[in-house]
Amino acid sequence: MGIVFLRIVDSEGKSKTLDDCALAYVGVGMVEIVIVSFAPELMMTGQDWLFTLVTVVAGSLILLFPKLRGMWVKPGIR
């Protein structure tokens, strides 16, 4: 849906937003596939707390990594 909106707003493709989105989706796509694959199985076997714990810990690590490496960008600063 976001790509469709981008095509409406930037129909000539002058911005590099689509390129950035494509590069970011390489990592997000793998995580999404793992979550969509394992979530139903864990929920059906009653391991919903394990799924929640693993998801929260992994998400926290993903957010913490750039912060620790000094790659965290503050809002308004480019």
Where does 1-78 have alpha helices with state H? 2-9, 17-44, 48-69
**Using CA atoms, how far apart are residues 47 and 70, in angstroms rounded to an integer?**
36
Residue 26 above 70 pLDDT? yes
pTM > 0.85: no
Band of the pLDDT at 27, cuts 50, 70, 90? confident
Structural domain boundaries in the chain: 15-69
Using alpha carbons only, what angle is made at residue 77 by residues 21 and 62, rounded to the nearest 5 degrees? Answer: 50
Given this model, what pLDDT does residue 18 score?
Answer: 85
Given this model, what pLDDT does residue 3 score?
Answer: 83
- Grouping H, G, I as helix, E, B as strand and the rest as coil, residue 78 is coil
What tokens does 11 get?
């129909």
What tokens does 42 get?
């864990």
